[in-house]
Amino acid sequence: MDELRHLFRRAADHAADYRLSLPDRPVGVPVDQAALNEAFAGPLPDAPTPPERVLADLVAAAEPGLVATAGPRYFGFVVGGASPAATAADMLAAGWDQIAFNAVTSPAAVAAETAAGTWLKELLGIPATASAGFVTGGQAANTAGLAAARHQVLADAGWDVERRGLTGAPAVRVFAGAERHATIDRSLRLLGLGTDALRPVSTGPQGAIDPDALAAALRDAGPGPTIVCLQAGNVNTGACDDLRRACDLVHRHGGWAHVDGAFGLWAAASPATRHLVDGLETADSWACDGHKWLNLPYDTAFAFCARPDVHAAAMSYAAAYLVGSGGAPAGADLTAESSRRARGFAVWAGLRELGRDGVAALVERCCALARRFADGLSAAGFEVVNDVVLNQVLVGFGDDARTDRVVAAVQTDGTCWAGGTTWRGRRLMRISVSNATTTEADVDRSVAAIARLAHGIGGELVH
């Protein structure tokens, strides 16, 4: 027994050492992937290996290839860093080894998901009566939300899609902003609706859907099964669709409004940004990540649905007998997985650690730091291309080739990490401030490094 305790403690010590090293660690410097692969490679051993040795070998092999995404100066994609209590709770979830399938396999996991789901809906302003499925990411949450949408719009047309499938079904039209996230397209493929069902709707200057264009598109389409994918938080600009107006249009048309709010839905948690997602409560389903802006461990996201019965009808394989049991749908009834990791413990712990005020402060601080980034880079002579309404900043450093060179230089330098993107036909640097541990000093140090590297690269600064 002592060996097990020793092993777990060593794993926890390694994790803590790593986390404590993050503020000083080079961020995302290039690694030799072939050498890393080699460290893990080799024949599958015939004989068993003692666990202590396995752990030591794993740490040695992995350490050079770890990316400091959880650290304070990683601004790539939309990446947070899992908070202390949430990370510790996730370690417990692994130690407890629970199956969050239902209340029989783990009453504790179901209770944690239920409580955390209630808190999440409260923080986001989603109706308390909505269901909350704990899924792996925004991708899975979009798939669950759109599965519920598919169920309902076809049920309204007299078609039972769960039983009959899509062969011979009435055609479903799916409207989405031209700047939707690519996961929407994959969800439509997985659900058999296909990307040809997509009718892109034009977007305004910051990438939010144009409500007049949506109104016209719905009018032109006429009656029929209709799903509309809205967005809170454009991955480039942070722009949010006018959810109140769009949901109203969709509902007048008899359609289903799904909101992809992977990170942007968290605007709801602060009075300072709440107006950006005004009307979100009028949607029918919502996708939201925990592992991005809420700083929970991977893989954590939430699929909410205004009608739990529709959510379960689309996702559960036990819905029929749940009706008899009188229980509300929970656990695996609301997700595509059957046996599942108990991610509710980490969600509960992370929310408890922050509290309502802490979540609001996290959102506000990241937005303020994004503005500080934008101000600093503008002052240094670079072009901030978007309205910095949330935590995203888009920066140009001259023409496309020059911007790409600056992005590459920043990624090699290691002071901070930011990715490149193409927005409105232009190559840009994309900066996302989503980590609770990022400070003003981290932003200032990163601005200084970016400016030093950009000024060191020849060529014209101005586009």
Residues of the shown chain interacting with ligand PLP in the complex, contacts defined by CB under 6 A: 78, 137-139, 181, 183, 231, 233, 235, 260, 262-263, 289, 301
Q: From the CB of 181, what's the least distance to ligand PLP, in Å?
A: 3
Question: Distance (Å, rounded) from C-alpha 284 to C-alpha 288?
Answer: 14
Q: From the CB of 437, what's the least distance to ligand PLP, in Å?
A: 20
Nearer to ligand PLP, 406 or 418 (CB): 418
Could you tell me which of 441, 456, 366 has the C-alpha nearest to residue 410?
A: 456
Nearer to ligand PLP, 101 or 263 (CB): 263
Question: Distance (Å, rounded) from C-alpha 62 to C-alpha 70?
Answer: 16
Nearer to ligand PLP, 389 or 406 (CB): 389
Question: Distance (Å, rounded) from C-alpha 301 to C-alpha 304?
Answer: 10
Instruction: Tokens 């669709």: give the residue.
Output: 241
Rg (CA), the chain: 23
Nearer to ligand PLP, 180 or 402 (CB): 180
Nearer to ligand PLP, 102 or 285 (CB): 285
Nearer to ligand PLP, 61 or 67 (CB): 67
Question: Distance (Å, rounded) from C-alpha 287 to C-alpha 140?
Answer: 8
In a 13 Å sphere around the CA of 324, the CA atoms on its Cβ side amount to 3
Residues 6+ apart with CB under 8 A from 418: 75, 76, 407, 410, 411, 429, 430, 431, 450
Nearer to ligand PLP, 177 or 308 (CB): 177
Nearer to ligand PLP, 161 or 277 (CB): 277
Nearer to ligand PLP, 135 or 154 (CB): 135
Q: From the CB of 263, what's the least distance to ligand PLP, in Å?
A: 5
Question: Distance (Å, rounded) from C-alpha 220 to C-alpha 204?
Answer: 20
Q: From the CB of 350, what's the least distance to ligand PLP, in Å?
A: 16
